[in-house]
Structure 1
């Protein structure tokens, strides 16, 4: 498959109260193929979320280029769906209405909008909750709605910023399996931010390790394991140790 996403020597600075701006990223280059599942992992402050926001079009790079589907990213677009950690659902809307939101912005006709929203909810196992409000649903259910809302506009990539960090371990495991199923069914690319090594290995075809101050890519692992993956296997443990070592080396390099 061809390259869908390109970060070309991207550096990002943010203003501070002093004279010297803070540097979040330093000459980051990264390619993601169409249909690929890539996890970004690293400590807080290494620029993972900044990379996602650049690709989403929420930010413009200080230096370098961010390209999507052979076009420079200049603004948000429906082909790049974003799923946040905190769900970002409208509390006054039902599950179906939340999922319909992006379709309404695209002026999709009412009947078609409703049918597509219900299909998206069915894909995440929440068709029975279509008329319920966010406060009536568990954290895991709310996150499924957020995923359905992103999928309903048929994006080419899902940008996921620690989407399962706020739920309990059992729900997190279920959501991980649901996400893999949806990825395999739709063929959508996924760029997934996490702090969790286990989660990265369980999900991704590639795990990109970032080091902080400023954010750089310190390692890039291809995870050559079939799906579904067995967390207790020796191969899984070997990847865990290699990624853990890379994370420690990146943190040490910044301190040394």
Structure 2
């Protein structure tokens, strides 16, 4: 599983759900669908996607109430949300935006226009999710060519170690639990345990760290792993940079 931007669709109309999933996956996004508002709330407590497409009228919990609750939680205060609704009146659009939605699309809508709105919102909210090159210190990762370098040295990583480094370097300083790394690298349906993460982190460290080189991967006891946010400053005198 790649670390492509993850989008959660919360929509109870199955034909529309299938249409959205097909077009978003064709654009390269990792997509998950939920049909009920209360189920979506539970899912969002487990993991946070990069963007939510949220229908206004849902069984279990309305989209507008779910959006309000998302804005009340620290973990999801800045989560990009596009509201989907059949309500086109100005007063309803204002209400939707007032609850914290970042954008508002009225059904029926143009799929290309919706995709453009998704790209624009992701670009503003999380530019690292759509750039092809990630850099921190003397470590660089190119998503398109699948190449990793440390200084002048090209590193040879297996597919799993590449995805693991990609997930960590994308958000320097963030501590990822083993469960979160399992989700990002192997997917929720993978039948593997937390020990697998430890094994592959060990392999990644062995691949990227040469003699007398500082290890940028930090183990946080009882919590998980992170790519050290001070690595770029300490090793190269510059902050983390994301290129195009």
Shared fold by TM > 0.5? no
TM-score (norm 1): 0.30
Tell which structure's C-alpha radius of gyration is larger.
Answer: 2
Instruction: Choose between structure 1 and 2: higher strand proportion.
Output: 1
Larger RCO (alpha carbons 8 Å, 6+ apart) = 1
Q: TM-score, normalised by structure 2?
A: 0.31
